[in-house]
Amino acid sequence: MKDMPQLGMGTFRLKGDEARESVSSALEVGFRHIDTAQFYDNEAEVGDALKTSGLDRGELFVTTKVWHESLGEDHFIPSVHESLEKLKLEYVDLLLIHWPYPGNDISLESYLDNLAKVKEQGLTRHIGVSNFTIDLLGKAEEILGKGEIYTNQIEIHPFMQNKKVVEACKEKGIKATAYMPFAVGKVIKDETLLRIAQSHDATPAQVVLAWMEKRHIYAIPSSTSKVHLAENLAYGGVHLTDSELALIDDLDNGERIVNPDFAPNWD
């Protein structure tokens, strides 16, 4: 079973032709993990790009996420079938709960049981969560069993490193995956990151991705530019010193970008 690549391509906010073309470009430059979600409303376009890429299904790692409005007993599994139809796939590699359910009328147990069922039915290879707090992670592990939660996808970037949750993930053997790793472009302007990038003849984005790998954090940055996609994938040529890693660690100021009104009580 294919492992999740260290670097994937995120597709949040990409729609229509832009989504199709960006995913095609990502696959052309060498990306093999594509991350989408029911809520992004681009699964069909992602599916088009995957289908026309000429790549073997076994080479690809595809993630999608169940939106909280589909977490009810009657909607959950049909919504996954709908996602697969749009993606033109028989299974995804990773299926996530996009957000913990914000109300009281659907229990954590009921929708995680359905997540486990989807895996049993072969519709996904791995299951996981997104935007789960330490408390919710613990509860989810009790329901699903140790080793079942593949990843917790959370906001992580140099200015909001989510250290407590990342640590909790590591303790439980759960991969931490960073969405918004470039803080919506803020990393490109940060003086510390620019200085480090210049000394390595690299981009600030490459520096952030190299730092994330050192900190055992997976990443799914989004880009529509083929040049930037190729640059991001080439981050492996950047070898940061311990003091540079420490400088990036020190940029953490808890600056959260994604905080909708249905978010859980963050750690």
Per-residue pLDDT of the chain (267 residues; tens, 9 = 90+): 889 999 999 999 999 999 999 999 999 999 999 999 999 999 999 999 999 999 999 999 999 999 999 999 999 999 999 999 999 999 999 999 999 999 999 999 999 999 999 999 999 999 999 999 999 999 999 999 999 999 999 999 999 999 999 999 999 999 999 999 999 999 999 999 999 999 999 999 999 999 999 999 999 999 999 999 999 999 999 999 999 999 999 999 999 999 999 999 999
Q: Around Cβ 152, how many Cβ atoms within 10 Å?
A: 27
Q: Which fold has domain 9-182+216-222?
A: TIM Barrel (3.20.20)
How far apart CA 7 and CA 19 sit, in angstroms, is 18
Structure tokens at 145: 């069993």
Residue 179 DSSP SS3: strand
- What are the structural domain ranges in the chain? 9-182+216-222
Please say whether the beta carbons of 75 and 67 come within 8 A: no
Active site residue 150: no
CA atoms in the 13 A half-sphere facing the CB of 262:
10
Contacting residues for 78 by C-beta, under 8 A, at least 6 apart: none
How far apart CA 84 and CA 82 sit, in angstroms, is 5
DSSP code, position 111: H
Please say whether the beta carbons of 248 and 50 come within 8 A: no
Please say whether the beta carbons of 84 and 90 come within 8 A: yes
Residue 98 among known ligand-binding residues = yes
Tokens 């993930």, residue? Answer: 169
| pTM for this predicted structure | 0.97
DSSP code, position 180: S
Structure tokens at 53: 């890429």
How far apart CA 218 and CA 256 sit, in angstroms, is 18
How far apart CA 68 and CA 71 sit, in angstroms, is 5
